Amino acid sequence: MKVVILKDAAAVAKYGANIFIKQISRKPDSVLGLATGSTPVALYKELIDAYKSGQVSFKKVSSFNLDEYLGLNPTHPQSYRYFMNQQLFDHIDIDKASTFVPPGDAEDPFTACALYETAIKQKGGIDIQLLGIGRNGHIGFNEPSSSLMSRTRIKTLTRATIDDNARFFGPDEYQPHLSITMGIGTILESKKVVLLATGENKAEAIKATVEGPLTAACPASALQLHEQVVLVIDEAAASLLSDVELYKHIEIENQKLLERLGRA
């Protein structure tokens, strides 16, 4: 697990975006795994700017989103399909027919979960998966107690997650308590994983992810099993790690090696 500690949220977004830009430059038809929530927004702005400046094209890219609220149709302002259109897809040259979000309005959501898994496999799997992390260590909507080998499925949201997301809903607006989410096993099959975290409120989850035991109590700890994981975090999110300076030293030495090999 590679841990990159940067000064602030802006630096985290830029570093994370550059990973995606390099991926698409190497493989123009990359399959991206995308995330919603407040943390990825700044990264998406960086990608939009890179597209507008001619640094990257998304014409051949496909994408799969991690999750969606069960019971919301794609045009609902709080749906994650709507979010992705507003925050990214409407501003780049991606073919929206190649962008996939779990169908929150599916008549048979159980079948929809199986079909989503099939669609990912038919595209050859996800090349690079973007993740945020919840205060309780959830990734996607895989809440604590989730099986570490779980597949795309319906998941009940914890009270903590419902409370955290309540700010996005009006006082009289329906807020779903169920979701469709990629499973942890699905996420672990991605070829590379990039997790972003900023702010002191994520510090405990980051410590548990990086230095804690492998446990369903912190779903993100399953990333310890993945060969290619990059955690890009700011100093506030890193504040509870046992040796921040060690992680910074490791990253400096890694960058020196990559520069010497011409891979930076």
Report, as residue numbers or ranges, the catalytic residues: 67, 136, 138, 143
Single out the residue of 82, 66, 103, 117 nearest to residue 220, CA to CA.
66
- Alpha-carbon span 165 to 185, nearest angstrom: 24
Tokens representing residue 97 in the block = 């027919």
Q: Within 13 Å of residue 223, how many CA atoms lie on the same side as its CB?
A: 35
Q: Helices 39-52 and 9-26: crossing angle, nearest 10°?
A: 50
- The answer to whether the CB of 105 falls within 8 A of the CB of 72 is yes
- The answer to whether the CB of 43 falls within 8 A of the CB of 16 is yes
> Residue 256 to residues 5, 16, 35, 202, 249: CA-CA distances in angstroms?
16, 19, 31, 29, 11
Single out the residue of 232, 189, 192, 191 nearest to residue 209, CA to CA.
232
